[in-house]
Amino acid sequence: MSIFCLGVNHKTAPVEIREKLAFAEKTLPDSLREILGVGEIEETVILSTCNRVEVYGAASLTASALDSLSNFLIGHFDVDGHEVEFYRHESEQAAHHLFEVASGLDSMVLGETEIFGQVKKAYATAQEAGATGKRMNKLFQQSFSIGKLVRSNSKIQHGSTSIGSVAVDLAEKIFGDLTGCKVMIVGAGEMSRTTAQSMVSRGASGIIVSNRSYDKAVELAELLNGSAMRFDDWETALRDVDILISSTSAPHPIIHAKAVDSHMKERRGNPLLLIDIAVPRDIEDEVRHIGDAYLFNIDQLTKIAEEGKSRREEQILFCRNLIAEHIEEKGIAALKSIPGDTTDRPPLDTNRPITNP
């Protein structure tokens, strides 16, 4: 029995492909159970975020399981197999990949903090669905230890290390100063919260939160000293806000070009910055063709991330050495012999070079 990872991320697939492969949060338990019936996969965890869709698992024949899983995902999401190129990791390479993901080394914004919580949530969801066993438990628990080790002993988090903070940097480039800027947040999840808090810390005021669950909108608005608006009414605020940030889990666009265009005529030339940090995307791409409306999606935020990336890149080798030292001392728990598992094989060489996608 060994472990594997199959996936795509911001480096291997554009947002147009990632959004087709994204798992809706409410369907995750059923999807996990479906994957358990594919190619003799015995354990699995799905990590589906803005920047990546990855399936981790354990199986006796990992190469065969990866083939079956790839075919399953192509059919499940009804995508053209020629437009998707999954990266495939087996055994120690799969473990190394997850360790780097949990440490923020594989993120669009190097060292970002959101991914650690996303990995923990993905694992918890798989546990609740009964999709994990000894291999995945050991693998993900070790990834949490390594993620904490790297962040505590390196400078990988220095600078703008989250998608939210990069979005704020973009807003400052457009407006110069956020003092007095009015911001609408569509979606009350973790990404929206951290982005809004960064906006407030840099002078934004008049925060408006709109969410399908009005109670959650109220909760976040109170945290930010802002106001809540029912989801059906959010369009009425377009006349007055300077920045709109959308990050919902909707499976299709919720902000349409026609609606934005109609309200832009009432703004008398005042610019509107729209930042779409959702996958699938929340805002129709046609919005970018509307005068005085400036739309940026999750992939375009990479341009701003690059500015501070060089300093953090110096930390990559240091962080990888931390991971290597940990593995040299502890080994890879998920690949060690587990009593009662007759499919175990001799320990693998954990010093083998890492291959990144």
Q: Are 244 and 131 members of one domain?
A: no
Check the CA dihedral 137-20-357-34 and report its sign. positive
Q: Alpha helix (H) ranges present in the chain?
A: 15-21, 28-35, 62-76, 91-103, 114-128, 134-153, 163-175, 190-201, 214-223, 257-264, 302-330
Q: Are 264 and 132 members of one domain?
A: no
CATH number for position 117: 3.30.460.30
Query: What is the distance in angstroms between the CA of the first residue and the CA of the last residue of the chain?
Result: 24
Q: Are 144 and 179 members of one domain?
A: no
pLDDT tens series, the chain, 357 aa:
899 999 999 999 998 899 999 999 999 999 999 999 898 899 999 999 988 999 999 999 999 999 999 999 999 999 998 999 999 999 999 999 999 999 999 987 777 778 999 999 999 999 999 999 999 999 999 999 999 999 999 988 666 556 777 778 788 888 888 888 999 999 987 777 878 887 887 888 889 999 999 999 999 999 888 999 999 998 888 888 999 999 898 999 999 999 999 888 888 788 899 999 888 999 999 999 999 999 998 888 766 666 666 677 778 899 999 999 999 999 999 999 887 665 554 443 434 443 444
Tell me whether residue 185 is exposed, middle or buried, using C-beta atoms within 10 angstroms of its C-beta: 0 to 12, 13 to 18, 19 or more: buried
Q: Are 295 and 287 in contact (CB under 8 A)?
A: yes
Q: Are 137 and 176 members of one domain?
A: no
CATH number for position 250: 3.40.50.720
CA 308 to chain centre: 20
Within a domain: 345: no
Within a domain: 189: yes
Question: Last residue of a domain, which of 303, 318, 347?
Answer: 303
Q: Please enumerate in sequence order all residues whose Cβ is within 8 A of that of 178, keeping only pairs 6 or more positions apart, or say none.
A: 168, 171, 172, 199, 202, 203, 204
Q: Are 106 and 241 members of one domain?
A: no
Q: Are 154 and 199 members of one domain?
A: no
Within a domain: 344: no
Our count of domains for the chain comes to 2
What pLDDT does residue 182 have? 93
Residue 244's domain comprises: 163-303
Q: Are 57 and 191 members of one domain?
A: no
Q: What is the pTM of this model?
A: 0.68
Q: Are 121 and 196 members of one domain?
A: no
Question: Last residue of a domain, which of 261, 281, 303?
Answer: 303
What pLDDT does residue 305 have? 67
What pLDDT does residue 172 have? 84
What pLDDT does residue 113 have? 79
Q: Are 293 and 314 members of one domain?
A: no
Q: What are the catalytic residues? A: 50
Q: Are 154 and 167 members of one domain?
A: no
Among residues 150, 168, 137, 72, the alpha carbon closest in space to that of 107 is found at: 150
Within a domain: 347: no
What pLDDT does residue 343 have? 54
**CA gap 357, 353 in Å, rounded:** 13
